[in-house]
Structure formats: C-alpha cells, structure tokens
Amino acid sequence: MSVTKSTEGPQGAVAIKLDLMSPPESAKKLENKDSTFLDESPSESAGLKKTKGITVFQALIHLVKGNMGTGILGLPLAVKNAGILMGPLSLLVMGFIACHCMHILVKCAQRFCKRLNKPFMDYGDTVMHGLEANPNAWLQNHAHWGRHIVSFFLIITQLGFCCVYIVFLADNLKQVVEAVNSTTNNCYSNETVILTPTMDSRLYMLSFLPFLVLLVLIRNLRILTIFSMLANISMLVSLVIIIQYITQEIPDPSRLPLVASWKTYPLFFGTAIFSFESIGVVLPLENKMKNARHFPAILSLGMSIVTSLYIGMAALGYLRFGDDIKASISLNLPNCWLYQSVKLLYIAGILCTYALQFYVPAEIIIPFAISRVSTRWALPLDLSIRLVMVCLTCE
C-alpha cells in the first residue's frame, strides 16, 4: 500500500494518515469528518449510513424554526427602545444583512466543496480554507486557528442560547404557578392578579434538569425530529393566540415616537440580534439537502418569512401596549387560562428546542474528547460530558 508524503501544512499530515489506512476506514473517516450536526453524528455508530437528504420544504421549516425562539417575544420592547418607525426599519435592514451574509457563507462553502472535491463543508473547514486562499502569507500559515476560533464561538453562542432557554423556562413556569389561584376563564375582566409566592426561580431551573438530561442523551437527530415538530406546533399556536389578542384594540399610533433616544438604541440592537438565531444551522441544512442548488432560494424565502414575522410582532405589540410593554409580551396578556396557555405552550416548545441547540456544541466537544481515549471509555466519557454541559447551563 502506497504512502504519500506531503509537506503542505496540516493537510500533509492528513494525507499520510489516510494513505496508511484501508479504503473502507478512510471513507468512514472522511464521512465522519464532513458530517455536520444535521447529518450522521460523529459520536454515533460508525456503521450507520448517511440518511437521505431533506426536501426543500423540510429545509424551509428547519430554517424558520431555527430563528423562532424566545427572542420574538421581546421584540415589542426592542421597538420601544428604537421608535415605532426606526425599530421596524432597523429590523428590515438587519434581516437583509443577515440573509446576505448567509448567502456569502453558503457560496464560499459550495465553491470550496467543488475545488477540493468534498461533499460537505462545515463552518471550521470553510473558514480554514478561506484563510488558506487568502494572499496574506501570515493568514495562510495560521489558517487552522480560524477553525478553532469559529468552533469556540459556536460553542459559546449555542450554550448561551441554552442558558437563556433555561431562564425562560423557569421564569414562565413560576409566573403560571404563582398566578394559578387568580387565573380565571374570563379573559375580559380587569381583576387584580394576586400572586402566591412559591419557591425561588433557581429551584424551578433545577426541576427542569432531569428532563433536559434525558433530552440531551438522545444523540440521533432522526429521533430529535419528533421533538422539533412538537416545538414548531406549540410555538405556532402560541403566536396565533398572541396576535389575535393584540390586534383587537390598537390605540392611536400618533402618540408613539417615530424615533426613540439614541441612548436606548443599543438595547434594541442587542434584542434584535439575539432574535436571529439560525446562523448556526445554515451550512448543516445546505449540506443535508437532496439538491443543494435550491438552498439559496430557500434561504431567501425563509429569512423573508422570519423578518416579516419579527416586524409584524414587534410593531403590533408596541402599538397595542405602548409604553406599558414589558420585557416579554406574554407578560402583557390577561390572566386567564387561554392566555396563560401561551406560556405553557412556549415552555413546551423551548424545552423541546433545547436539545437541538445543545446538539451543536456537543458535536464539537464530544468527538474531540473521545478521540483521545480508548473505545472502552468512549461512551462513559460521552455521557459524562453531556451531563456536565447541561449542569453548566443550569447554573
């Protein structure tokens, strides 16, 4: 069996290693390396074959779902910090810029796939090969750092989403429990809500921990698709309930400022940026599609839908409640079981979404860790890392 020797940076070492392996082992290695978190998991059995690609409709659903999290509930307050005119216009511009950057990312990945004859290209590979193609010699020599930096920020971003989700779950469940004695079936009464003090929010977070641990132990995305569908349904129903309420009695919009103070604009910017959560799923979706040539059109359509939903929810929410808008629009809803169900539905949706957000950092950290231990300790280490990561997001 031949051995190919190369001195061209880190790629040379990879070439030597692959030539020394048998053809089946090399194929498996490349397949695992190029897998993304929507493909076969590197931590799953190496014998599993790559599943069929997703359809155009499935890619669109995943893309929209990737953006629809807790951020949309805080957009009405964000518009208050920007102004009834400046806020929606800024959301439109941010949506356009986000979509444009995603298109650039996809084009770069597709070009490198053709140049290097690779079926997939993840974030780390795209950045590394992009730096290697740069005319700057220093960037070429340090291209591997691009992969590490991107992986680091992906881990921080996705675990940050998980932390926000846990806080959201605990706070919303606490609100429902404390108001349960005052919650009625009459959604038109203006009775004062008498809250019954319960346990601390941190104890509510702890109560979710067993369910979260069970969810993150699921390493097969084919099974997680069930939870993703449940999350889509619950969030869609809750948003419909919210919109039908806020469109009932919209007061005169002339009392609202077109442009708010520039001192509060950074608050709008932070909330709006957090709402666009799908950057972590763009390349995995493109890699998983049956026909990736259709993905740019799906990306434009999906981001148009998301941006329209954001602008509509943000503007209508601020128009309806004005200066009384709260951090989450769900807090402005009447204390009846119909609108309390919004919180319960969102709790179910976010709980199911947690596992999908957690999947990204897990598939970066765990394969790296288990590659440094024997096969005997691979599964115990995998489960231990998942448990520790979940506990860290609950602190």
Whether 60 maps to a domain, the answer reads yes
Structural domain total, the chain:
1
Whether 1 maps to a domain, the answer reads no
Section 78-102 average pLDDT: 93
Q: How many CB atoms lie within 10 A of CB 387?
A: 14
Whether 190 maps to a domain, the answer reads no
Give pLDDT, residue 20. Answer: 39
Section 384-390 average pLDDT: 92
Give pLDDT, residue 77. Answer: 93
Rounded CA separation 63/301 (Å): 10
Question: What distance, in Å, lies between the first and last C-alpha atoms of the chain?
Answer: 53
Helix axis angle for 86-116 and 265-275, nearest 10°, is 40
Return the H-helix or E-strand segment holding 306.
helix 295-321
pLDDT in tens, 223-262: 777 787 788 888 889 988 998 888 888 888 888 889 998 8
Section 365-376 average pLDDT: 88
Concatenate the DSSP letters of all residues of 45-78 into one string.
-TTPPPPPPBPHHHHHHHHHHHH-SGGGGGHHHH
Helix axis angle for 265-275 and 75-82, nearest 10°, is 150
Give pLDDT, residue 180. Answer: 78
Radius of gyration of the chain (CA): 24
The β-bridge partners of 336 are 184
Please check the confidence at residue 22 and state whether its pLDDT lies above 50.
Answer: no
Whether 223 maps to a domain, the answer reads yes
Q: 204 and 174 in contact (C-beta within 8 Å)?
A: yes
Q: How many CA atoms lie within 13 A of 132 on its CB side?
A: 16
Q: How many CA atoms lie within 13 A of 186 on its CB side?
A: 7
Whether 41 maps to a domain, the answer reads no
Decide: pTM greater than 0.85. Answer: no
pLDDT in tens, 51-85: 456 778 878 877 887 778 788 889 999 999 999 99
Whether 48 maps to a domain, the answer reads no
Q: 167 and 70 in contact (C-beta within 8 Å)?
A: no
pLDDT in tens, 164-186: 889 889 988 888 888 877 777 76
Q: 216 and 362 in contact (C-beta within 8 Å)?
A: yes
Give pLDDT, residue 338. Answer: 84
Whether 83 maps to a domain, the answer reads yes
Report residue 190's pLDDT band, with 50, 70 and 90 as the boundaries. Answer: low
- One-letter amino acid at 142 equals H
Question: Domain of 366?
Answer: 56-182+198-393
Give pLDDT, residue 10. Answer: 42
Interior angle at CA 138, CA 132 and CA 144, nearest 5: 50
Whether 13 maps to a domain, the answer reads no
